Structure 1
Amino acid sequence: MFNISSSTADTIYNYANIALILGTTITLIATIVAIKSGSIREQYSNERTAKNESMTITAKADAAKANENAAIANKVAAQANKSAAKSNLRAAEVEKQNIELRIKFSSRHIDQKQYGILVTELSKNPSTFNIETMGDPESGMYAADIFKTFLDSGWKVDKKEFPLGVIWEGIIIYQTNDPAALRIADAFKKAAINFKIGDQFHEKATIMIGGKPQTF
């Protein structure tokens, strides 16, 4: 078949056997190495898997703790909002009381708007009038305010009296046949100044300035 000598064939055969042995040996070594390295890889893979699972469990625990802390924080915030609402309500109540106290203890006066309305109405048909005032300082100052407004409107005062031993509240306009009293009452209404009609009858339009009415 092949034109080679016997010695050459022996040599080739020997080399082939050596190559076969080497190949088998290499295959065996490779198989052993593959099995061993596969085992090592699997061990590392298992370790990584275990580590990942541990990290996952830790992350879930941290998330649960964070949710718990968030719930506590929300509860604290809700309580703080509730307390703030109570504080705001209390502050509003205190402010209301302060306003009421300021109103209670403040002096009456004719403000700029009332002054303008009174002067406009009273100056249409000026007349004469009488004024009676209680002796306390607050009533006196308010009466002076009203008196000046009437004078600025062209009215003239006939009598100024300070009754002794008489106590009354607010403004009173006596009953009378003097038409000037109706004009005074109409001007007071338009200026939003409260007054009452007295029981007594006077010949001339008469205004009584009493003490400041109690607001509460």
Structure 2
Amino acid sequence: MPPNTQSSSDVLVLVAHGTRSARGVEMIAALAEAVSARVGATRVAFVDVLGPSPSEVLRDIPGRAVLVPAFLASGYHVHTDVRREVEGSGHQGVTVTPALGPDPALASVLMRRLRDAGWRSGDAIVLAAAGSSDSRALRDVERAALMLAEQADTRVDIGYIATGTPKVVDVVAAARVRGAHRVFIASYLLAHGLFHERLGAAGADGVTEPLGVDPGVVDLVVDRYSAARRGVAVI
């Protein structure tokens, strides 16, 4: 295990969306625990559905804090909710890192998940994202699809689970019409929850597990934290 590189005044706050799924909450907690083993005590906050909120967690931190948004695209929650929570906390020593995605490291995790689900070269891929009404988030998903397509060396189509079109089920059906014999859904979600559950009924031959507590995701959180401590890539 790498040595603990955290000073007592640099607390990592991992901020996730929030879910009513107990399994999803457990996955975020497990991710924070894995990160803690690398950098020291890591706190968890949520911007929606459940608490504690980022502002509540930050008010409980006396020293400096590094806030890492555990989002795969930067939309309203990252650009607005996170900033509002930081300002509302009154904390003067907070550094906010870029969101986790898109990033080539996540594309590598997606490739491992696809292979674990039975995907083989020649099978169609649909990247399934939650969706957003924020065009910035949609552009991030498009970038994520391009990164995955580069690693898979094949076309990757995008389908949305909740907000936005085309829906995942329609994209899977379109791949069948084009002649794909097998279609696999790459779940571009961090944790289990209602959105991931919906993917099982989309008509694909296989659905990957969420990104979850993959070592590549842990490494990415640690990298975001370390870069912020060095004064790099702060939003």
Q: TM-score range by the shorter chain?
A: under 0.3
Bigger relative contact order (CA 8 A; separation at least 6)? 2
Structure showing greater radius of gyration is 1
Q: TM-score, structure 2 length as denominator?
A: 0.22
Task: Tell me which protein shows more strand as a share of its residues.
Answer: 2
Q: TM-score, structure 1 length as denominator?
A: 0.24
Task: Tell me which protein shows more helix as a share of its residues.
Answer: 1
